[in-house]
Chains A and B, each alone.
Chain A
Protein backbone atom coordinates (compact mmCIF):
# COMPACT_ATOMS: atom_id res chain seq x y z
CA UNK A 1 0.00 0.00 0.00
CA UNK A 2 1.49 3.29 -1.08
CA UNK A 3 0.48 5.20 2.01
CA UNK A 4 2.43 2.92 4.28
CA UNK A 5 5.66 3.25 2.37
CA UNK A 6 5.72 6.94 3.27
CA UNK A 7 8.93 7.45 5.23
CA UNK A 8 8.51 9.38 8.42
CA UNK A 9 11.94 8.63 9.82
CA UNK A 10 13.54 11.04 7.43
CA UNK A 11 15.96 12.61 9.89
CA UNK A 12 18.76 14.01 7.74
CA UNK A 13 22.34 13.11 8.68
CA UNK A 14 23.85 15.79 10.92
CA UNK A 15 26.32 16.83 8.21
CA UNK A 16 23.47 17.80 5.81
CA UNK A 17 22.02 20.88 7.55
CA UNK A 18 25.27 21.59 9.39
CA UNK A 19 27.20 22.40 6.21
CA UNK A 20 24.61 25.08 5.40
CA UNK A 21 24.56 26.34 9.00
CA UNK A 22 28.35 26.67 9.17
CA UNK A 23 28.51 28.50 5.83
CA UNK A 24 25.78 31.08 6.56
CA UNK A 25 27.68 33.00 9.28
CA UNK A 26 30.69 33.31 6.95
CA UNK A 27 28.52 35.15 4.41
CA UNK A 28 27.04 37.23 7.23
CA UNK A 29 30.52 38.32 8.33
CA UNK A 30 31.44 39.03 4.70
CA UNK A 31 28.34 41.26 4.45
CA UNK A 32 29.33 43.07 7.64
CA UNK A 33 32.88 43.56 6.32
CA UNK A 34 31.50 44.96 3.06
CA UNK A 35 29.36 47.44 5.00
CA UNK A 36 32.41 48.41 7.03
CA UNK A 37 34.61 48.92 3.94
CA UNK A 38 31.98 50.50 1.68
CA UNK A 39 30.27 52.47 4.45
CA UNK A 40 29.93 55.58 2.26
CA UNK A 41 27.85 53.91 -0.44
CA UNK A 42 26.40 50.61 0.82
CA UNK A 43 23.30 52.22 2.32
CA UNK A 44 23.15 55.36 0.17
CA UNK A 45 20.81 54.01 -2.50
CA UNK A 46 19.41 50.59 -3.36
CA UNK A 47 21.00 50.86 -6.80
CA UNK A 48 24.57 51.28 -5.56
CA UNK A 49 26.76 48.24 -6.35
CA UNK A 50 27.72 47.83 -2.67
CA UNK A 51 24.04 47.91 -1.63
CA UNK A 52 23.13 45.23 -4.17
CA UNK A 53 26.07 43.06 -3.10
CA UNK A 54 25.26 43.53 0.60
CA UNK A 55 21.62 42.59 0.03
CA UNK A 56 22.49 39.41 -1.86
CA UNK A 57 25.20 38.28 0.54
CA UNK A 58 22.57 38.47 3.28
CA UNK A 59 19.54 37.13 1.40
CA UNK A 60 21.31 34.34 -0.49
CA UNK A 61 24.40 33.65 1.58
CA UNK A 62 22.59 33.77 4.92
CA UNK A 63 18.78 33.58 4.62
CA UNK A 64 18.54 31.17 1.67
CA UNK A 65 21.48 29.13 3.01
CA UNK A 66 19.78 28.56 6.38
CA UNK A 67 16.31 28.09 4.88
CA UNK A 68 17.47 25.47 2.37
CA UNK A 69 19.49 23.64 5.06
CA UNK A 70 16.51 23.70 7.42
CA UNK A 71 14.05 22.40 4.82
CA UNK A 72 15.99 19.10 4.81
CA UNK A 73 15.02 18.76 8.48
CA UNK A 74 11.67 20.55 8.61
CA UNK A 75 9.83 19.12 5.59
CA UNK A 76 9.78 15.48 6.75
CA UNK A 77 8.50 16.56 10.17
CA UNK A 78 5.79 18.75 8.68
CA UNK A 79 4.52 15.84 6.63
CA UNK A 80 5.92 16.58 3.22
CA UNK A 81 8.23 13.57 3.12
CA UNK A 82 11.98 13.63 2.77
CA UNK A 83 13.86 15.48 0.05
CA UNK A 84 14.96 12.83 -2.49
CA UNK A 85 18.60 11.71 -2.21
CA UNK A 86 19.03 13.85 0.92
CA UNK A 87 22.84 13.58 1.29
CA UNK A 88 23.60 13.72 -2.44
CA UNK A 89 21.16 16.58 -3.05
CA UNK A 90 22.74 18.61 -0.23
CA UNK A 91 26.21 17.81 -1.60
CA UNK A 92 25.18 19.38 -4.93
CA UNK A 93 22.95 22.26 -3.75
CA UNK A 94 25.31 23.51 -1.01
CA UNK A 95 28.39 24.20 -3.20
CA UNK A 96 26.18 25.69 -5.93
CA UNK A 97 24.53 28.04 -3.43
CA UNK A 98 27.90 28.90 -1.87
CA UNK A 99 29.65 29.60 -5.18
CA UNK A 100 26.56 31.37 -6.53
CA UNK A 101 26.14 33.68 -3.51
CA UNK A 102 29.84 34.57 -3.56
CA UNK A 103 30.10 35.17 -7.31
CA UNK A 104 26.86 37.08 -7.54
CA UNK A 105 27.88 39.27 -4.59
CA UNK A 106 31.26 39.95 -6.20
CA UNK A 107 29.69 40.47 -9.63
CA UNK A 108 27.14 42.97 -8.29
CA UNK A 109 29.92 44.87 -6.51
CA UNK A 110 32.32 44.99 -9.45
CA UNK A 111 29.99 44.61 -12.47
CA UNK A 112 32.16 41.69 -13.56
CA UNK A 113 30.28 39.93 -16.37
CA UNK A 114 32.04 36.64 -15.65
CA UNK A 115 31.11 36.65 -11.95
CA UNK A 116 27.54 37.67 -12.65
CA UNK A 117 27.15 34.89 -15.24
CA UNK A 118 28.74 32.29 -12.94
CA UNK A 119 26.55 33.46 -10.06
CA UNK A 120 23.39 33.37 -12.18
CA UNK A 121 24.18 29.94 -13.58
CA UNK A 122 25.09 28.27 -10.27
CA UNK A 123 22.17 29.84 -8.40
CA UNK A 124 19.76 29.09 -11.25
CA UNK A 125 20.72 25.41 -11.20
CA UNK A 126 21.12 25.19 -7.40
CA UNK A 127 18.15 27.16 -6.10
CA UNK A 128 15.88 26.66 -9.12
CA UNK A 129 16.59 22.93 -9.14
CA UNK A 130 16.03 22.72 -5.39
CA UNK A 131 12.70 24.60 -5.64
CA UNK A 132 11.53 22.30 -8.44
CA UNK A 133 12.64 19.18 -6.52
CA UNK A 134 10.85 20.31 -3.36
CA UNK A 135 7.78 21.43 -5.31
CA UNK A 136 7.35 18.34 -7.46
CA UNK A 137 8.63 15.51 -5.27
CA UNK A 138 7.73 16.61 -1.78
CA UNK A 139 5.03 19.25 -1.63
CA UNK A 140 2.60 17.58 -4.01
CA UNK A 141 1.85 14.95 -1.37
CA UNK A 142 -1.60 15.11 0.12
CA UNK A 143 -0.29 14.87 3.68
CA UNK A 144 0.58 17.92 5.70
CA UNK A 145 -1.34 20.62 7.45
CA UNK A 146 -1.59 24.37 7.51
CA UNK A 147 2.16 24.87 7.34
CA UNK A 148 2.55 23.09 4.02
CA UNK A 149 -0.12 25.25 2.35
CA UNK A 150 2.03 28.34 2.95
CA UNK A 151 5.26 26.47 2.14
CA UNK A 152 3.84 25.30 -1.21
CA UNK A 153 3.13 28.95 -2.11
CA UNK A 154 6.63 29.88 -0.88
CA UNK A 155 8.14 27.24 -3.21
CA UNK A 156 6.37 29.00 -6.10
CA UNK A 157 7.75 32.28 -4.76
CA UNK A 158 11.26 30.79 -4.60
CA UNK A 159 11.09 29.50 -8.19
CA UNK A 160 9.82 32.84 -9.57
CA UNK A 161 12.28 34.93 -7.50
CA UNK A 162 15.15 32.73 -8.74
CA UNK A 163 13.94 32.93 -12.37
CA UNK A 164 13.68 36.74 -12.27
CA UNK A 165 17.05 36.99 -10.51
CA UNK A 166 18.64 34.84 -13.17
CA UNK A 167 17.34 37.11 -15.94
CA UNK A 168 18.42 40.26 -14.08
CA UNK A 169 21.95 38.98 -13.43
CA UNK A 170 22.36 37.95 -17.06
CA UNK A 171 20.91 41.30 -18.15
CA UNK A 172 23.48 43.11 -16.01
CA UNK A 173 26.30 40.97 -17.39
CA UNK A 174 25.09 41.47 -20.99
CA UNK A 175 23.50 44.96 -21.22
CA UNK A 176 22.70 44.39 -24.90
CA UNK A 177 19.85 42.13 -23.77
CA UNK A 178 17.93 45.31 -22.80
CA UNK A 179 16.28 44.03 -19.61
CA UNK A 180 13.92 46.62 -17.99
CA UNK A 181 15.93 46.71 -14.78
CA UNK A 182 13.96 48.96 -12.50
CA UNK A 183 10.64 47.21 -13.14
CA UNK A 184 12.00 43.69 -12.88
CA UNK A 185 14.18 44.44 -9.86
CA UNK A 186 11.11 45.66 -7.98
CA UNK A 187 9.26 42.46 -8.94
CA UNK A 188 12.26 40.31 -7.92
CA UNK A 189 12.54 42.02 -4.53
CA UNK A 190 8.79 41.92 -3.84
CA UNK A 191 8.57 38.21 -4.66
CA UNK A 192 11.71 37.39 -2.69
CA UNK A 193 10.54 39.22 0.42
CA UNK A 194 6.76 38.66 0.24
CA UNK A 195 6.05 35.50 -1.71
CA UNK A 196 9.11 33.62 -0.48
CA UNK A 197 10.53 34.81 2.84
CA UNK A 198 7.35 36.01 4.56
CA UNK A 199 5.37 32.93 3.47
CA UNK A 200 8.10 30.53 4.54
CA UNK A 201 8.35 32.10 8.00
CA UNK A 202 4.54 32.17 8.24
CA UNK A 203 4.30 28.50 7.27
CA UNK A 204 6.84 27.42 9.86
CA UNK A 205 5.21 29.56 12.57
CA UNK A 206 1.74 28.09 11.89
CA UNK A 207 3.08 24.73 13.00
CA UNK A 208 5.89 25.52 15.38
CA UNK A 209 4.42 28.30 17.56
CA UNK A 210 1.29 26.40 18.73
CA UNK A 211 3.21 23.19 19.33
CA UNK A 212 6.50 24.27 20.90
CA UNK A 213 5.04 27.04 23.01
CA UNK A 214 1.73 25.31 23.76
CA UNK A 215 -0.25 28.17 22.23
CA UNK A 216 -3.71 28.18 20.58
CA UNK A 217 -3.63 27.00 16.95
CA UNK A 218 -4.02 29.53 14.11
CA UNK A 219 -6.83 27.51 12.46
CA UNK A 220 -6.95 26.24 8.91
CA UNK A 221 -9.16 29.01 7.51
CA UNK A 222 -7.02 31.78 9.04
CA UNK A 223 -3.75 30.30 7.78
CA UNK A 224 -5.08 29.86 4.25
CA UNK A 225 -6.67 33.31 4.00
CA UNK A 226 -3.51 34.98 5.36
CA UNK A 227 -1.18 32.96 3.09
CA UNK A 228 -3.28 33.66 0.00
CA UNK A 229 -3.58 37.35 0.93
CA UNK A 230 0.20 37.71 1.22
CA UNK A 231 0.86 35.71 -1.96
CA UNK A 232 -1.75 37.56 -4.04
CA UNK A 233 -0.63 40.93 -2.69
CA UNK A 234 3.04 40.29 -3.47
CA UNK A 235 2.18 38.92 -6.90
CA UNK A 236 -0.10 41.90 -7.69
CA UNK A 237 2.53 44.41 -6.58
CA UNK A 238 5.22 42.59 -8.56
CA UNK A 239 3.35 42.09 -11.81
CA UNK A 240 0.36 44.48 -11.64
CA UNK A 241 2.22 46.95 -13.83
CA UNK A 242 -0.03 49.62 -15.25
CA UNK A 243 -3.12 47.39 -15.13
CA UNK A 244 -3.47 47.61 -11.39
CA UNK A 245 -3.28 50.57 -9.01
CA UNK A 246 -0.47 49.35 -6.69
CA UNK A 247 -2.44 50.51 -3.68
CA UNK A 248 -4.87 47.56 -4.07
CA UNK A 249 -2.36 44.69 -3.96
CA UNK A 250 -0.38 46.79 -1.47
CA UNK A 251 -3.48 46.92 0.76
CA UNK A 252 -3.96 43.12 0.43
CA UNK A 253 -0.33 42.47 1.37
CA UNK A 254 -0.42 45.03 4.19
CA UNK A 255 -3.71 43.78 5.65
CA UNK A 256 -2.77 40.10 5.47
CA UNK A 257 0.68 40.78 6.98
CA UNK A 258 -0.81 42.95 9.73
CA UNK A 259 -3.42 40.30 10.54
CA UNK A 260 -0.66 37.66 10.61
CA UNK A 261 1.59 39.71 12.91
CA UNK A 262 -1.32 40.38 15.29
CA UNK A 263 -2.42 36.72 15.20
CA UNK A 264 1.15 35.66 16.01
CA UNK A 265 1.45 38.15 18.90
CA UNK A 266 -1.94 37.10 20.28
CA UNK A 267 -1.04 33.41 20.22
CA UNK A 268 2.31 34.05 21.87
CA UNK A 269 0.58 36.12 24.55
CA UNK A 270 -1.92 33.29 25.18
CA UNK A 271 0.69 30.50 25.22
CA UNK A 272 0.41 28.11 28.15
CA UNK A 273 4.14 27.46 28.33
CA UNK A 274 5.20 30.64 30.12
CA UNK A 275 8.94 29.92 30.05
CA UNK A 276 10.62 33.13 28.84
CA UNK A 277 13.00 31.66 26.33
CA UNK A 278 14.94 33.45 23.58
CA UNK A 279 12.88 31.86 20.82
CA UNK A 280 9.62 33.32 22.20
CA UNK A 281 11.19 36.76 22.47
CA UNK A 282 12.54 36.38 18.91
CA UNK A 283 9.05 35.60 17.56
CA UNK A 284 7.60 38.58 19.48
CA UNK A 285 10.33 40.89 18.20
CA UNK A 286 9.86 39.62 14.64
CA UNK A 287 6.08 40.16 14.72
CA UNK A 288 6.59 43.69 16.05
CA UNK A 289 9.19 44.43 13.35
CA UNK A 290 6.76 43.16 10.71
CA UNK A 291 4.21 45.73 11.94
CA UNK A 292 6.86 48.48 11.77
CA UNK A 293 7.81 47.33 8.25
CA UNK A 294 4.15 47.55 7.19
CA UNK A 295 3.89 51.09 8.61
CA UNK A 296 7.02 52.18 6.70
CA UNK A 297 5.78 50.38 3.56
CA UNK A 298 2.43 52.18 3.81
CA UNK A 299 4.22 55.53 4.06
CA UNK A 300 6.28 54.59 1.00
CA UNK A 301 3.25 53.52 -1.06
CA UNK A 302 1.36 56.65 0.04
CA UNK A 303 3.93 58.75 -1.75
CA UNK A 304 6.44 59.76 0.94
CA UNK A 305 9.30 60.29 -1.45
CA UNK A 306 12.32 59.78 0.81
CA UNK A 307 14.54 57.21 -1.00
CA UNK A 308 15.90 56.02 2.36
CA UNK A 309 12.49 54.45 3.07
CA UNK A 310 13.13 51.65 0.58
CA UNK A 311 16.42 50.74 2.24
CA UNK A 312 14.86 51.02 5.68
CA UNK A 313 12.09 48.65 4.50
CA UNK A 314 14.63 46.05 3.39
CA UNK A 315 16.59 46.40 6.66
CA UNK A 316 13.49 46.12 8.85
CA UNK A 317 12.06 43.18 6.96
CA UNK A 318 15.15 41.21 5.97
CA UNK A 319 17.53 41.87 8.87
CA UNK A 320 14.71 42.48 11.34
CA UNK A 321 11.70 40.24 10.80
CA UNK A 322 13.23 37.35 8.86
CA UNK A 323 16.73 37.10 10.30
CA UNK A 324 15.57 37.48 13.91
CA UNK A 325 13.44 34.33 13.58
CA UNK A 326 15.96 32.47 11.42
CA UNK A 327 18.88 32.99 13.83
CA UNK A 328 16.78 31.98 16.84
CA UNK A 329 15.40 28.87 15.11
CA UNK A 330 18.88 27.92 13.92
CA UNK A 331 20.14 27.33 17.46
CA UNK A 332 17.12 25.16 18.33
CA UNK A 333 17.25 23.06 15.16
CA UNK A 334 21.02 22.46 15.39
CA UNK A 335 20.71 21.48 19.06
CA UNK A 336 17.76 19.18 18.38
CA UNK A 337 19.42 17.43 15.45
CA UNK A 338 22.66 16.87 17.33
CA UNK A 339 20.81 15.60 20.39
CA UNK A 340 18.49 13.23 18.54
CA UNK A 341 21.29 11.70 16.45
CA UNK A 342 23.37 11.09 19.58
CA UNK A 343 20.41 9.74 21.52
CA UNK A 344 19.54 7.21 18.83
CA UNK A 345 23.06 5.84 19.10
CA UNK A 346 22.49 5.39 22.84
CA UNK A 347 19.28 3.40 22.35
CA UNK A 348 21.38 0.28 21.70
CA UNK A 349 23.79 0.95 24.52
CA UNK A 350 22.23 2.21 27.76
CA UNK A 351 25.70 2.47 29.34
CA UNK A 352 26.38 5.44 27.01
CA UNK A 353 23.34 7.41 28.22
CA UNK A 354 25.28 9.38 30.87
CA UNK A 355 27.44 10.75 28.01
CA UNK A 356 24.40 12.23 26.29
CA UNK A 357 24.26 16.05 26.42
CA UNK A 358 20.92 17.87 26.73
CA UNK A 359 19.93 20.31 23.98
CA UNK A 360 20.88 23.09 26.37
CA UNK A 361 24.41 21.66 26.59
CA UNK A 362 24.69 21.81 22.77
CA UNK A 363 23.41 25.34 22.16
CA UNK A 364 22.76 26.78 25.60
CA UNK A 365 20.13 29.35 26.48
CA UNK A 366 22.88 31.81 27.45
CA UNK A 367 24.30 31.52 23.91
CA UNK A 368 20.81 32.01 22.48
CA UNK A 369 20.19 35.12 24.61
CA UNK A 370 23.56 36.53 23.54
CA UNK A 371 22.65 35.91 19.90
CA UNK A 372 19.30 37.67 20.28
CA UNK A 373 20.88 40.61 22.11
CA UNK A 374 23.74 41.14 19.64
CA UNK A 375 21.35 40.70 16.71
CA UNK A 376 19.01 43.36 18.11
CA UNK A 377 21.95 45.73 18.53
CA UNK A 378 23.09 45.04 14.96
CA UNK A 379 19.56 45.73 13.67
CA UNK A 380 19.31 49.02 15.56
CA UNK A 381 22.75 50.02 14.24
CA UNK A 382 21.74 49.11 10.67
CA UNK A 383 18.50 51.12 10.81
CA UNK A 384 20.37 54.05 12.39
CA UNK A 385 22.96 53.89 9.59
CA UNK A 386 20.19 54.14 6.97
CA UNK A 387 19.00 57.36 8.57
CA UNK A 388 22.44 58.70 9.68
CA UNK A 389 25.00 57.40 7.15
CA UNK A 390 27.98 58.45 9.29
CA UNK A 391 27.21 55.54 11.63
CA UNK A 392 27.48 52.89 8.86
CA UNK A 393 30.92 51.59 10.04
CA UNK A 394 29.39 50.86 13.45
CA UNK A 395 26.57 48.97 11.70
CA UNK A 396 29.16 46.92 9.79
CA UNK A 397 31.07 46.09 12.97
CA UNK A 398 27.95 44.99 14.87
CA UNK A 399 26.83 42.92 11.86
CA UNK A 400 30.19 41.11 11.95
CA UNK A 401 29.71 40.53 15.70
CA UNK A 402 26.16 39.23 15.10
CA UNK A 403 27.36 36.53 12.72
CA UNK A 404 30.48 35.79 14.73
CA UNK A 405 28.18 34.83 17.61
CA UNK A 406 26.11 32.70 15.21
CA UNK A 407 29.25 31.03 13.83
CA UNK A 408 30.58 30.37 17.32
CA UNK A 409 27.26 28.76 18.33
CA UNK A 410 27.17 26.54 15.23
CA UNK A 411 30.82 25.56 15.50
CA UNK A 412 30.34 24.88 19.22
CA UNK A 413 27.36 22.64 18.43
CA UNK A 414 29.35 20.76 15.77
CA UNK A 415 32.34 20.22 18.07
CA UNK A 416 30.15 19.21 21.01
CA UNK A 417 28.40 16.73 18.72
CA UNK A 418 31.68 15.23 17.51
CA UNK A 419 33.08 14.90 21.03
CA UNK A 420 29.93 13.25 22.36
CA UNK A 421 29.66 10.96 19.34
CA UNK A 422 33.26 9.81 19.76
CA UNK A 423 32.73 9.11 23.47
CA UNK A 424 29.49 7.21 22.77
CA UNK A 425 31.18 5.15 20.04
CA UNK A 426 34.03 4.25 22.39
CA UNK A 427 31.54 3.14 25.04
CA UNK A 428 29.54 1.10 22.53
CA UNK A 429 32.75 -0.49 21.19
CA UNK A 430 33.73 -1.43 24.75
CA UNK A 431 30.51 -3.44 25.02
CA UNK A 432 31.55 -5.46 21.98
CA UNK A 433 28.93 -3.90 19.64
CA UNK A 434 29.68 -2.06 16.42
CA UNK A 435 28.94 1.68 16.71
Chain B
Protein backbone atom coordinates (compact mmCIF):
# COMPACT_ATOMS: atom_id res chain seq x y z
CA UNK B 1 0.00 0.00 0.00
CA UNK B 2 1.20 3.49 -0.81
CA UNK B 3 2.46 5.28 2.31
CA UNK B 4 1.50 8.79 3.35
CA UNK B 5 5.14 9.79 2.86
CA UNK B 6 5.19 8.50 -0.73
CA UNK B 7 1.91 10.14 -1.74
CA UNK B 8 2.57 13.50 -0.09
CA UNK B 9 6.19 13.65 -1.33
CA UNK B 10 4.86 13.07 -4.87
CA UNK B 11 2.39 15.93 -4.24
CA UNK B 12 5.40 18.13 -3.37
CA UNK B 13 7.03 17.20 -6.67
CA UNK B 14 3.82 18.18 -8.54
CA UNK B 15 3.94 21.61 -6.87
CA UNK B 16 7.65 21.96 -7.75
CA UNK B 17 6.92 21.11 -11.39
CA UNK B 18 4.06 23.65 -11.46
CA UNK B 19 6.34 26.38 -10.04
CA UNK B 20 9.01 25.50 -12.61
CA UNK B 21 6.48 25.82 -15.46
CA UNK B 22 5.46 29.23 -14.09
CA UNK B 23 9.08 30.42 -13.99
CA UNK B 24 9.58 29.15 -17.57
CA UNK B 25 6.49 31.08 -18.68
CA UNK B 26 7.76 34.30 -17.09
CA UNK B 27 11.07 33.96 -18.88
CA UNK B 28 9.31 33.21 -22.18
CA UNK B 29 7.28 36.42 -21.63
CA UNK B 30 3.88 35.12 -22.83
CA UNK B 31 1.26 36.87 -20.61
CA UNK B 32 -1.43 34.23 -21.24
CA UNK B 33 0.90 31.37 -20.31
CA UNK B 34 2.17 33.30 -17.26
CA UNK B 35 -1.36 33.66 -15.84
CA UNK B 36 -2.33 30.10 -16.74
CA UNK B 37 0.77 28.53 -15.14
CA UNK B 38 0.48 30.76 -12.08
CA UNK B 39 -3.16 29.71 -11.58
CA UNK B 40 -2.18 26.03 -11.90
CA UNK B 41 0.67 26.46 -9.40
CA UNK B 42 -1.58 28.39 -7.00
CA UNK B 43 -4.23 25.63 -7.18
CA UNK B 44 -1.62 22.92 -6.53
CA UNK B 45 -0.26 24.76 -3.48
CA UNK B 46 -3.69 25.51 -2.00
CA UNK B 47 -4.70 21.86 -2.48
CA UNK B 48 -1.53 20.59 -0.82
CA UNK B 49 -1.95 22.94 2.15
CA UNK B 50 -5.56 21.79 2.54
CA UNK B 51 -4.57 18.12 2.37
CA UNK B 52 -2.21 18.67 5.25
CA UNK B 53 -4.07 21.22 7.35
CA UNK B 54 -7.55 19.68 7.01
CA UNK B 55 -6.67 15.97 7.11
CA UNK B 56 -3.07 15.02 7.91
CA UNK B 57 -2.24 17.43 10.72
CA UNK B 58 -5.49 16.97 12.73
CA UNK B 59 -5.07 13.18 12.56
CA UNK B 60 -1.46 13.42 13.67
CA UNK B 61 -2.37 15.82 16.47
CA UNK B 62 -5.19 13.55 17.67
CA UNK B 63 -2.94 10.48 17.58
CA UNK B 64 -0.13 12.15 19.52
CA UNK B 65 -2.12 14.54 21.71
CA UNK B 66 0.21 17.33 20.62
CA UNK B 67 -1.03 20.29 18.60
CA UNK B 68 1.92 22.55 19.44
CA UNK B 69 4.75 20.42 18.06
CA UNK B 70 5.87 19.87 14.47
CA UNK B 71 2.44 20.52 12.94
CA UNK B 72 2.28 24.00 14.52
CA UNK B 73 5.64 24.78 12.90
CA UNK B 74 4.48 23.43 9.55
CA UNK B 75 1.30 25.55 9.72
CA UNK B 76 3.43 28.62 10.41
CA UNK B 77 5.64 27.82 7.42
CA UNK B 78 2.50 27.41 5.27
CA UNK B 79 1.53 30.94 6.36
CA UNK B 80 4.99 32.16 5.32
CA UNK B 81 4.52 30.59 1.88
CA UNK B 82 1.00 32.03 1.56
CA UNK B 83 2.50 35.45 2.27
CA UNK B 84 5.04 35.15 -0.56
CA UNK B 85 2.37 33.72 -2.87
CA UNK B 86 0.22 36.80 -2.19
CA UNK B 87 3.18 39.12 -2.86
CA UNK B 88 3.91 37.22 -6.06
CA UNK B 89 0.29 37.50 -7.18
CA UNK B 90 0.29 41.24 -6.46
CA UNK B 91 3.50 41.83 -8.47
CA UNK B 92 2.08 39.77 -11.31
CA UNK B 93 -1.09 41.87 -11.32
CA UNK B 94 1.12 44.99 -11.59
CA UNK B 95 2.98 43.42 -14.52
CA UNK B 96 6.29 43.42 -12.61
CA UNK B 97 7.73 40.23 -14.10
CA UNK B 98 11.26 40.62 -12.75
CA UNK B 99 9.94 41.15 -9.18
CA UNK B 100 7.64 38.17 -9.74
CA UNK B 101 10.65 36.06 -10.65
CA UNK B 102 12.47 37.24 -7.50
CA UNK B 103 9.47 36.26 -5.37
CA UNK B 104 9.25 32.91 -7.18
CA UNK B 105 12.90 32.25 -6.36
CA UNK B 106 12.34 33.12 -2.69
CA UNK B 107 9.26 30.91 -2.65
CA UNK B 108 11.19 27.99 -4.15
CA UNK B 109 13.79 28.10 -1.37
CA UNK B 110 11.12 28.49 1.32
CA UNK B 111 9.12 25.58 -0.14
CA UNK B 112 12.13 23.28 -0.42
CA UNK B 113 13.46 23.74 3.09
CA UNK B 114 9.89 23.13 4.31
CA UNK B 115 9.56 20.02 2.12
CA UNK B 116 12.83 18.61 3.47
CA UNK B 117 11.55 18.81 7.03
CA UNK B 118 8.24 17.20 6.10
CA UNK B 119 9.77 14.45 3.98
CA UNK B 120 12.64 13.67 6.33
CA UNK B 121 10.84 14.00 9.65
CA UNK B 122 7.09 14.61 9.69
CA UNK B 123 5.79 12.20 7.03
CA UNK B 124 7.72 9.17 8.38
CA UNK B 125 6.37 10.06 11.85
CA UNK B 126 2.83 10.26 10.41
CA UNK B 127 3.23 6.83 8.80
CA UNK B 128 4.14 5.48 12.23
CA UNK B 129 1.43 7.07 14.36
CA UNK B 130 -1.58 7.78 12.13
CA UNK B 131 -3.47 4.47 12.62
CA UNK B 132 -5.64 3.60 9.62
CA UNK B 133 -3.43 5.07 6.97
CA UNK B 134 -5.59 3.73 4.09
CA UNK B 135 -8.63 5.66 5.26
CA UNK B 136 -6.56 8.81 5.90
CA UNK B 137 -4.89 8.53 2.51
CA UNK B 138 -8.29 8.20 0.83
CA UNK B 139 -9.44 11.38 2.61
CA UNK B 140 -6.26 13.23 1.64
CA UNK B 141 -6.61 12.16 -1.99
CA UNK B 142 -10.22 13.32 -2.01
CA UNK B 143 -9.31 16.89 -1.07
CA UNK B 144 -9.21 19.13 -4.11
CA UNK B 145 -10.06 16.32 -6.54
CA UNK B 146 -12.41 17.67 -9.18
Contact = CB atoms under 8 A, between A and B. Distances in A.
Given A78-B116, A358-B102, A343 B80 contact: yes
B73 interface: yes
A78 B87 contact: no
A335 B87 CA distance: 18
B113 A336 contact: yes
Nearest to B21: A272
A343 B116 CA distance: 19
Contacts of A221: none
A143 B70 CA distance: 14
Interface string B92-128: 0000000100110110111011011101111011001
A143 B121 contact: yes
A39 B108 CA distance: 44
A345 B73 CA distance: 14
B121 A340 contact: no
B8 to A, nearest CB: 15
A211 interface: yes
B128 A3 contact: yes
B116 A77 contact: yes
Nearest to B91: A358
A312 B114 CA distance: 40
B76 interface: yes
A343 B77 CA distance: 10
A346 B83 contact: yes
A21 interface: no
A347 interface: yes
Contacts of B84: 343
Contacts of A272: 16-17, 20
Given A1-B64, A212-B108, A272-B20, A207 B116 contact: yes
B43 interface: no
B24 interface: yes
Nearest to B118: A8
A344 B79 CA distance: 9
B33 interface: no
Given A272-B20, A332-B109, A359-B102, A347 B120 contact: no
Residue among B17, B20, B113, B125 with max Cβ neighbours from chain A (10 Å): B113
A88 interface: no
A9 B116 contact: no
A211 B116 contact: yes
B23 interface: yes
7 contacts: A8-B122, A77-B116, A78-B120, A79-B116, A79-B117, A207-B116, A344-B76
Nearest 8 interchain pairs by C-beta: A79-B120, A9-B73, A360-B102, A358-B102, A211-B112, A359-B106, A4-B64, A273-B20
